[in-house]
Amino acid sequence: METLKGINLFSIIASVAILIVALSFAYYLVIFLPSKEKTMQEQASKELQLKQAEQQKKDKEAQVYKDCDDEAAEGARELLKSKIEIAQNSGTAIPSTWKEASEKGLHLKDDYNSYYENCLRRNGIKY
């Protein structure tokens, strides 16, 4: 009878141990792995969103640089024309290169740089 009790006790302990191992394995497969995969997918999604946001920021910044370039060139051309007009009206001598540059649609570099920097500051790129 003692061996029978020992066998029964051993069988019960072995069955409980097997049950614990089986439940642990089932938990790993059913709960842990899917949540780990979901976390990895969420992280990948956030990384993709971050990359897209960075690309949009770069695209917007590039567009601002282009717009500021166009605006600065136009402003500098207009300023050169007005400088020539003011000089002619006041009787002040103007460099001959200014008239030639104005006729060709060119501008003064310092005026361009001033307009360009102001535009960049206005758009929050340069402080």
Domain for residue 64, yes or no? yes
Domain for residue 127, yes or no? no
Alpha-carbon gap, residue 5 to 3, rounded angstroms = 5
The total number of structural domains in the chain stands at 1
More confident residue, 95 or 46: 46
Query: Per-residue confidence at 88, pLDDT binned at 50, 70, 90?
Result: confident
Tell which residue, 87, 67, 85, 79, has the closest CA to residue 106.
Answer: 79
**Which tokens in the block code for residue 80?**
């050169």
Residue indicated by tokens 């005026």: 111
Q: What tens digit of pLDDT does each residue of 45-61 get?
A: 999 999 999 999 999 99
Whole-model pTM?
0.61
pLDDT score, position 1: 42
Domain for residue 21, yes or no? yes
pLDDT score, position 32: 86
Domain for residue 15, yes or no? yes
Alpha-carbon gap, residue 108 to 84, rounded angstroms = 12
Average pLDDT score over the chain: 88
Q: What tens digit of pLDDT does each residue of 9-29 get?
A: 888 899 999 999 999 999 988
Alpha-carbon gap, residue 17 to 21, rounded angstroms = 6
Alpha-carbon gap, residue 68 to 65, rounded angstroms = 5
Domain membership of residue 117 as a residue range: 2-122
